[in-house]
């Protein structure tokens, strides 16, 4: 099949070359690709403070115009080499159309799956690409088989709001009780473990729990492995939301110690929007039914847990380029830099009496993401007003988060291309908020 082979190899030969030769800077479609090169010998913490290196990283990104954008928790901007790979893939898919998609795409997607699995430390047959973490997590929750009348499921206020509502929907539909625990606005690993432990002891009917690795509310890190081990000992199944943590924290999927994990690639991995992944550990598929109508009920293929229909082929083809770029910076370096940028504002803000800072009590429990509110102003309306003031008076873009038991807050999420000086601008703005907070 010479035509078929050449159409695919022209494109994919490049992807494969990029994958194999990332270190030498040869990338997609055989083009030379520049990528950041961290200085040899610098520890992540030392590198986190090296503004010159992060300026070099920042030069790979196009910046938001007209505002200082500190809302990068929504999705992660593609670096330019990733965007180029994506656009090349888009052009190829559009030109080759069904001839490519029907004949050769599956083999190319397998390469993207392989790269995801490798980066997570998983087997290829434990991973299926999804459009986002929502698709991955909702499917596990909906297709979970282990619930009956009289059982209970567990969520926490810091979980992603739509995942909590999906658990409530599951509860309503199956006559299952939903238990929701509240995590304090500042917490550490011990606090969180104790709260889950108490919930397990008080609710012996628990069968399934949702656990969030990094909360979208304020970047709190949950000790997933410890809590999941305790849950497993009590016969409770665990689905983990790692939508916000992959690429933000340096870990492998085995470190989470759970059977089912929902990931995003379009946040901190920097792949095109429309890319996520579902991990299901080997041997764990029996408790989650195939997508309704897909496969026999005993089908043990992870791909059968998702039915995306027709999707964005090009976005998935660009996943290896995104992982190449991400890995060229290094996850540990990225984690340390983002933590540092967050500490630059939270270290100041937590001593400002007009503010309440939300998130980790210590570094182990925190990430690059943090949140705050004006002291005592917990309504969504007050948080919305605060977000708008930051934008209109100080030119800083952020986002309101709803869902915490303690009320609304404003989330600040820097990216690798933000500088320490930009965070300094935020600190000045936070200080200035005191004037109007006092006069209000």
Ligand X SMILES: Cc1ncc(COP(=O)(O)O)c(C=O)c1O
Residues that bind ligand X (CB under 6 A): 73, 132-134, 160, 212, 216, 241, 243-244, 264
Closest Cα to residue 317, out of 115, 118, 24, 126?
A: 115
Spatial neighbors of 440 by CB under 8 A, at least 6 apart, are none
Residue 176 sits at φ, ψ, to 5 deg, of -110, 140
DSSP labels, 197-237: HHHHHH-TTEEEEEEESB-TTT-PBP-HHHHHHHHHHTT-E
Least distance between ligand X and beta carbon 45 (Å): 26
* Least CB distance to ligand X at residue 342 (A): 16
CB of 439 to ligand X, least distance (A): 35
How far is residue 432's CA from residue 387's CA, in Å, rounded to a whole number?
A: 14
Closest distance of CB 420 from ligand X, Å = 25
- Whichever of 135 and 324 has its CB closer to ligand X, that residue is 135
Identify the residue whose tokens are 């599956």: 106
**How many Cα neighbours within 13 Å face the side chain of 291?**
17
Sheet of 370-374: strand order equals 186-187, 355-360, 370-374, 409-412, 399-401
The distance of closest approach from Cβ of residue 272 to ligand X in the complex, given in angstroms and rounded to an integer, is 12
CB closer to ligand X, 187 vs 243: 243
- Least Å distance between CB 330 and ligand X? 23
Of 241 and 382, which CB lies nearer to ligand X in the complex structure? 241
Nearer to ligand X, 133 or 314 (CB): 133
CB 276 to ligand X: min, Å: 6
CB 427, min distance to ligand X, A: 25
CB nearer ligand X, residue 36 or residue 274: 274
Number of Cβ within a 10 Å radius of residue 296? 8
Nearer to ligand X, 111 or 159 (CB): 159
For residue 181, give the H/E element and its range: strand 177-181
Closest to ligand X by CB, 132 or 418: 132
Residue with tokens 């993401």: 369
Tokens 């598929």 found at? 285
What DSSP designation does 330 have? -
Label residue 364 exposed, middle or buried (CB < 10 Å: 0-12, 13-18, 19+): exposed
What's the angle, vertex CA 104, arms to CA 103 and CA 105, rounded to 5?
Answer: 110
**Which of residues 211 and 321 has its CB atom nearest to ligand X in the complex?**
211
């Amino acid at each position: 099949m010479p035509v078929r082979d050449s159409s695919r190899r022209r494109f994919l030969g490049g992807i494969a070359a990029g994958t194999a030769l990332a270190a030498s800077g040869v990338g997609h479609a055989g083009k030379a690709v520049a990528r950041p090169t961290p200085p040899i010998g610098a520890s992540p913490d030392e590198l986190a403070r090296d503004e010159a290196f992060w300026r070099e990283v920042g030069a790979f990104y196009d910046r938001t115009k007209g505002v200082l954008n500190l809302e990068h928790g929504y999705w992660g901007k593609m670096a330019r080499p990733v965007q180029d790979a994506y656009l090349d893939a888009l052009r190829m898919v559009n030109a080759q159309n069904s001839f490519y998609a029907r004949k050769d795409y599956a083999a190319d997607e397998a390469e993207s799956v392989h790269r995801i699995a490798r980066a997570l430390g998983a087997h290829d047959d434990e991973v299926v690409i999804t459009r986002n973490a929502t698709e991955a997590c909702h499917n596990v929750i909906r297709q979970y088989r282990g619930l009956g009348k009289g059982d209970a499921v567990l969520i926490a206020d810091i979980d992603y709001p739509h995942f909590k509502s999906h658990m409530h929907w599951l509860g309503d539909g199956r006559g299952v009780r939903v238990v929701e625990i509240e995590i304090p606005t500042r917490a550490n690993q011990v606090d969180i473990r104790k709260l889950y432990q108490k919930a397990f002891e008080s609710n012996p009917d628990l069968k399934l729990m949702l656990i969030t690795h990094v909360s979208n509310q304020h970047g709190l890190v949950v000790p997933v492995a410890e809590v999941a081990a305790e849950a497993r000992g009590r016969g409770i199944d665990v689905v983990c939301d790692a939508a916000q943590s992959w690429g933000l924290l340096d870990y492998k999927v085995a470190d989470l110690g759970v059977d089912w994990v929902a990931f995003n690639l379009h946040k901190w991995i920097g792949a095109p929007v429309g890319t996520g992944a579902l991990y299901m550990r080997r041997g764990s598929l029996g408790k989650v039914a195939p997508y309704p109508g897909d496969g026999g009920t005993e089908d043990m293929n992870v791909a059968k847990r998702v039915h995306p229909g027709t999707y964005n082929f090009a976005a998935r083809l660009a996943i290896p380029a995104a992982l190449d770029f991400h890995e060229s910076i290094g996850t540990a370096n990225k984690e340390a830099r983002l933590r540092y940028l967050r500490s630059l504002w939270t270290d100041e803000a937590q001593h400002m009496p007009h503010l309440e800072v939300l998130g980790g009590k210590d570094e182990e429990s925190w990430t690059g993401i943090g949140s705050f509110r004006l002291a005592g102003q917990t309504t969504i309306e007050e948080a919305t007003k605060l977000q708008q003031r930051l934008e209109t008076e100080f030119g800083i873009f952020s986002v309101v988060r709803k869902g915490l038991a303690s009320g609304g807050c404003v989330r600040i999420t820097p990216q690798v291309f933000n500088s320490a000086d930009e965070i300094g601008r935020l600190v000045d703005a936070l200080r200035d908020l005191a004037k109007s907070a006092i006069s209000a």
